[in-house]
Structure 1
Amino acid sequence: MSGEVYGTERPRKKRWGRRLLITLIVLLILLAGVLVALDRFAAGYAERMIGDRVSEQIADQKATSEKPDVTIEGVPFLTQVLDGNYERIRIKLANLSGPAGNNRTVRVGNLDVNADNVNAPLDTIRSGNGDIVAKTVTGTGVIDYPQLAELIGQPGLKLAERDGKLVGSAPVQALGQTFDVSGTAEVTVKEGVVQVRFSDVTAANLPNVPLIRNLINSYVQKLSVDLRVPELPLKLAVQKVEPTPDGLRFTAGADNVSLNAGGL
């Protein structure tokens, strides 16, 4: 009789233990799901807040773009909140367009911005008071060649990249003839302004006549252009420009930038 009693009690205890373990696992899974959802909700809120501030500054600069796409990298987000430091925040601006001086408008198809080493104290996130500051901000964008040729404003001008350099070609009328001239441009940045200066312009079968040479030299001067990239958000200033197959690629940067201040 005693053997039968013990034989029925032990299975009941094992079943109860398994149920308790399954219940605990289910609760842990649910808790993990809630934490993930809360983490993504908090990250989404912060991303929207930063995106709204960037949009405000773009509007203040009389520029336009599509809605900023903001991504706070690194998971979980909440541990970064508690620490008050974020490795990187990415901001993508599509179709940025703005004034570039002399009644001209410049379009940048995509501006990619990385804000690194961002300091955002928990009290700032909670109250909205204080600054969220990125130690460094870098941005890259491309001005395509058809647009650059349009800004230079010389009929028939075609631009391209060759061996890492900006080259151009265009037809020039002289003495009743048409000469296809071509040359290489030097592209530099001075005080945030992109300068394009052509030199070594040549043409096949070009007569060595002073009148024609002067005409070509005069044409070369017209190819020069000072291009101010639309005022960029987050205090970004153009630092470098290089020709690429898609267009002039510029790199901009700034230090110690507030990501949430109204004026950024």
Structure 2
Amino acid sequence: MVTTVDEAVATPRRPRRRRGFGLGLLVVLVVLAGLVVVADRVGATMAESRLVSVVETELNKQQITAAATDVDIEGFPFLTQVANGHYDRIVIDIDDLRSGKVRVSNLRINADDVTAPTGDLLGGSPKATAAKVTGVATIAWDLLPGLLDYAGMDFGDATFAPAGESVRVTGTAKVNGERVPVAATATFSVVRNQIRVRVSDASVSGMDLPQEAEDYINNLQDELSVGFTVPPLPFGLTVAKVAATDGGLAVTATAKDVPLAQ
């Protein structure tokens, strides 16, 4: 079949696919998405740095020292949270905290349901309030004898260590003129912002003691059942409970409607 000139002219040509345009658009979208992520992270980093200063100011008010403070604003995207004036959780880590005689290797604070009005933020006077704040601090086992002043009770070489579901306390006591090893069970509780230890089942292993010596050991365990008052904590935290862990005594403190920045 022969195609005439007129037929050839009348036959429409198929449009050439613009592959280059589609690929270019994809590249632009990827770059823009990357810029948005970068801007989001930059904004979060600046806000976290600002909160570090707020936390350090709060620590100074309570005469608390710390080796390092870190703040992490959870959730993504950050800028959306800023626009809404609400943050699900802000995590504060304070390392090597010292308050009075109490030394804590780490204090982690979770501030939940944080409200920070966007207008205040844009106006240069940011305010933030957390509906609930929970802090967990761990007191190393080797620090407890000093806090409880066991040396002053003539209970030497005292150590605490977890043993299954309980905690064992060991040390030496002077019985009938000589020092003997003593072991007992320790349990912890919270009474009006004071951490108390109750010592029970005290015994001297490998020795038969006269009755008067056994009476002394029983009296000793009562003397060792003491406590210490928790010094002021940041953000008005109040001790709620304690629990034994491998790393030490975990102290949980809580507070409600806490101003983080004002």
Given the superposition, is the C-alpha separation of residues 114 and 153 from structure 1 closer, same or farther in structure 2, using an over 3 Å criterion? Answer: same
Select the residue among 153, 158, 167 that pairs with 2:150.
153
Structure-1 residue corresponding to 2:191 = 190
Structure-2 residue corresponding to 1:102 = none
- The worse-fitting range, judged by mean Cα deviation, of 163-172 and 114-123 is 163-172
Structure-1 residue corresponding to 2:77 = 76
Gaps of 5+ in 2: none
Structure-2 residue corresponding to 1:116 = 112
Partner AA of 1:33 in structure 2? G
Sequence identity percentage:
33
User: Which has the higher Rg, Structure 1 or Structure 2?
Assistant: 2
- Cα root mean square deviation, aligned: 2.4
Q: Tell me the SS of whatever aligns to 1:129.
A: coil
Partner AA of 1:110 in structure 2? N
Structure-1 residue corresponding to 2:140 = 144
Gaps of 5+ in 1: 100-104
TM-score, normalization: structure 2? 0.85
- The 1-side partners of 2:43 and 2:216 are apart by 64
Q: Output one character per residue of 1:154-173: Cα deviation in whole Å (capped at 9) or x when no partner.
A: 31112111232222111222
Select the residue among 116, 123, 127 that pairs with 1:127.
123
Given the superposition, is the C-alpha separation of residues 67 and 156 from structure 1 closer, same or farther in structure 2, using an over 3 Å criterion? Answer: closer
- The 2-side partners of 1:255 and 1:87 are apart by 15
- Contact 2:73–2:89 at 8 Å: present in 1 too? yes
Q: Output one character per residue of 1:153-199: Cα deviation in whole Å (capped at 9) or x when no partner.
A: 33111211123222211122222343322212231111211111212
> 1:31: Cα distance to partner?
1.7
Q: Output one character per residue of 1:45-92: Cα deviation in whole Å (capped at 9) or x when no partner.
A: 211121111111112211111332111111111111222221111111
- The 2-side partners of 1:24 and 1:184 are apart by 70
- Contact 2:121–2:127 at 8 Å: present in 1 too? no
Structure-2 residue corresponding to 1:172 = 173
- The 1-side partners of 2:13 and 2:80 are apart by 49
Q: Tell me the SS of whatever aligns to 1:63.
A: coil
- Contact 1:145–1:159 at 8 Å: present in 2 too? yes
How many correspondences in the alignment?
Answer: 251
Q: Tell me the SS of whatever aligns to 1:68.
A: strand
- The 1-side partners of 2:25 and 2:9 are apart by 31
> 1:222: Cα distance to partner?
4.0
Structure-1 residue corresponding to 2:202 = 201
Given the superposition, is the C-alpha separation of residues 5 and 62 from structure 1 closer, same or farther in structure 2, using an over 3 Å criterion? Answer: farther
Structure-1 residue corresponding to 2:29 = 28
- The 1-side partners of 2:130 and 2:234 are apart by 13
- Contact 2:95–2:107 at 8 Å: present in 1 too? yes
